[in-house]
A and B are shown apart, each in its own frame.
Chain A
Amino acid sequence: MKRLWAWGALIFGLLYFFLPLVGMTNFSLKMRRGEYSFDAYAKVFADSRFQETFTYSVTMALLTIVFGILLVVPTAYWVRLKLPRLRPYIEFVTLLPLVIPAIVIVFGYIRLYNTSSWLPLTGSALGTDMLLMFGYATLALPYMYRAVDTGLRTIDIGTLTEAAQSLGAGWFTIISRIILPNVLVAVLSGAFLTFAIVIGEFTMAALLNKPAFGPYMQLLGANRAYEPAALAVIAFGITWGCLGLIQLVSRLQKTAPRQA
């Protein structure tokens, strides 16, 4: 009896997950009348705007990841090593982007950094790109910081630092050659999540008028029938890929210390 209920609940949940996925995949293959084909995908991939916006979003994602690593790894390390009392405050700040909706943050950017302000970032293309990257870094901050901080917990940074210092290493060497390799798995899982977030992000890019993948998808969705479903399949594949890579690297992390 209990098992019957359990199977029922599970099957209902799975139907809920899989029907939309089946629906979108099925729809994306139906562009040619009366038979299944990859026409919608061919159309999407051939569209120069798809290539441009996708390249733009991938570039932004990579820049955001690099920036995020440069910002978060030294900070998390330093706070754990020297300023442990600050930890709760820093952690609180890194969780704020989960509380404040992205649309509010970007609204603040537009008002704070407009062309007539003290830091007119929205005045130039490069400035807006930078602003968007900072925005993405803010959205990814909760995930990135938590991943790195958890990674740091598993190693003895005090001893590692002292050992490196007594061998004559400077701070740059310590962070780049001792700490970063040791938390690489944590950094990577933060990076993949950042990638997944940035690729699909819509609100910030749309409001800052940037030619990113999210707004392109929305625009295509408003004007076409079959291509959006193909795009959704592609986007789902990317999310799935990123999360799969996280699983993979964290499994590697679990086995790594045993090998050492």
Chain B
Amino acid sequence: MSSNEVSAGASERQPFRLPLHWLGVVPFAAFTILFLIMPTMKIVIGAFQTPDGTFTFENIGSLFTASILSAYWISIKISLASAILGCMIGFAVAAAVVLGGLPQWVRGPLLTFSGVASNFAGVPLAFAFLATLGPLGILTIFLKTQLGIDLRALGFNILSFWGLTVTYLFFQIPLMILIITPALDGLKREWREAASILGATNLQYWRLVAFPILLPSILGTIALLFANAFGAVATAIALTGSSLNIVPILLFAQIRGDVLGNPHLGYALAFGMIVVTGIANALYIWLRARSERWLK
């Protein structure tokens, strides 16, 4: 590895020293190997093994049964819906603050609050939404008594697909605001001026200049928000118990009590999660590298 090259260079200057530079990263390497790499490898390898240790594709194949596929499908739909909606709403709010001519003092508190809200996931978030949109929630009651809108009769249920999506948006929107604000700041005033000198309308400027520049940032953030929602366990469990059939809840139940009846199917389930979040993150990294070309 490159550490050898570095220490080889050092030992030319100091001929009687052993190349011990790399010893400085041994504690870190040991920690990450023991508590990050090896546990993950155990899952990945286990996904391709039978209980007695021989190699097999059977576990991966078993993922393609109706109930597990539907769990993945619902998870992906929720993550995608909350990522896209979070992206759109977050973009609108960030654009309003950066470009919309709002007073400057709005910006600081909004970004601070976004920092807090994007970290406010998990169990308490579920409680907050139950208290707001649950059967006895403040908004549910208000809409019913004041405006005569019965959410339940309209088919909305906090313990459902849309309930979970709306709840996830609480940490997705602020994350989008945090990520996209610097990108919006990167749009140079000269581009807009150049476009308007050439006779472009506001819409043309957005469609032909600003939007194409921002597109990699936006798509990359959608990928990141997707991964963010896909791995969220605590919010889902606290909100729905185990009533909603999504992958993190299924995996949680499997680890707790082998509900699938085959421990190695659990490995495969977890492996599938790594694959999905891995693809989403790879997309994010790739798109971010592309967007940095313009938004320096």
Contact = CB atoms under 8 A, between A and B. Distances in A.
State whether these chains interact.
yes
A85 B34 CA distance: 23
Contacts, number: 270
A24 B131 contact: yes
Grouping DSSP codes into helix (H, G, I), strand (E, B) and loop, the A interface class, with mixed when no group exceeds half, is helix
A103 B248 contact: yes
A132 B224 CA distance: 26
Contact of A75 (B24, B106, B177, B274): B24
B230 interface: yes
Q: For the side of the interface on B, what is the size category?
A: 35 or more
A101 B97 contact: no
Interface stretch (B54-62, B190-198, B214-222, B250-258): B250-258
Nearest to A105: B39
Given A85-B6, A112-B42, A101 B233 contact: yes
B127 A9 contact: no
A201 to B, nearest CB: 7
Interface string A4-16: 0111111011001
Contact of B35 (A28, A109, A193, A203): A109
A99 B38 contact: no
B5 interface: yes
Interface string A183-208: 00000000001001100111100110
B123 A247 contact: no
Given A3-B101, A6-B100, A243-B116, A218 B238 contact: yes
Interface centre among A10, A71, A196, A197 (most CB of B within 10 A): A10
A111 B173 contact: no
Given A16-B170, A110-B255, A23 B138 contact: yes
Contact of A23 (B32, B137, B173, B255): B137
Contacts of B136: 27, 225
Interface string A86-129: 10011001001111111111111111100000000000000000
